[in-house]
Chains A and B, each alone.
Chain A
Amino acid sequence: AQTVTQSQPEMSVQEAETVTLSCTYDTSENNYYLFWYKQPPSRQMILVIRQEAYKQQNATENRFSVNFQKAAKSFSLKISDSQLGDTAMYFCAFMMGFRDDKIIFGKGTRLHILP
């Protein structure tokens, strides 16, 4: 069975700094998708970034980028120039390829951006 592990329950960084959130996963599949979701205090789940396992190039979305290491089964999220609005719970998530659309979530990392 696939598992997703986030080893950092909570982190704090100063505004404008860069922060990296860690995520590892376990699967025997070769085709899959990885996601980072943000959950601010409003409770809404927001997709931050996605990565297809067959793509070697790391995904980027503005200040958010990932370091995808397929062999190591690692999928970290880097937030550059962090802003107060980045304060949220961040969930790493895994989904197998087209055979199965179920997403498996890690337990989350609570990120505090300090003014």
Chain B
Amino acid sequence: NAGVTQTPKFRILKIGQSMTLQCTQDMNHNYMYWYRQDPGMGLKLIYYSVGAGITDKGEVPNGYNVSRSTTEDFPLRLELAAPSQTSVYFCASSNSRTVYGYTFGSGTRLTVV
């Protein structure tokens, strides 16, 4: 059972480039989330999804886009990368029926130069 898998683990982008952070879960969780963690800070919610075909903005959505075409996958798209998007990105999932908190991926460290 792999849980939540994020790829890549590390990435360096140049300003203005675009990329997609991949997130896949194999637990049949209906809820999925993207957070960013800036140095010395807690996690801030970027986008979340309550099921396939449904997404909504979190606290810091600007500069990002998401899609949820399947239960398993929840990719995060960065368009026109900026230095302010340098952060560690975490994908997480949960089963809303159990309320046992999230299962997190191992994170993606992104640097925009």
Q: A50-B101, A102-B58 are in contact. Are A91 and B42 (CB under 8 A)?
A: yes
Q: A33-B99, A95-B99, A98-B99 are in contact. Are A107 and B40 (CB under 8 A)?
A: yes
Q: A91-B43, A108-B42 are in contact. Are A98 and B96 (CB under 8 A)?
A: yes
Report the minimal beta-carbon distance from A22 to chain B, rounded to whole angstroms. Answer: 15
Q: Does A103 contact B (CB under 8 A)?
A: yes
Q: Which residues of B contact A91 (CB under 8 A)?
A: 42-43
Q: Measured between alpha carbons, how far is A71 from B90 in the docked complex, in Å?
A: 33
Report the minimal beta-carbon distance from B19 to chain A, rounded to whole angstroms. Answer: 19
A45–B45 CB distance below 8 A? no
Q: A43-B106, A45-B90 are in contact. Are A103 and B101 (CB under 8 A)?
A: yes
Q: Which residues of B contact A33 (CB under 8 A)?
A: 99, 101
Q: A91-B43, A101-B31 are in contact. Are A35 and B104 (CB under 8 A)?
A: no
Interface of A toward B, CB cutoff 8 Å = 4, 9, 33, 35, 37, 42-45, 47, 50, 52, 91, 93, 95, 97-98, 101-108
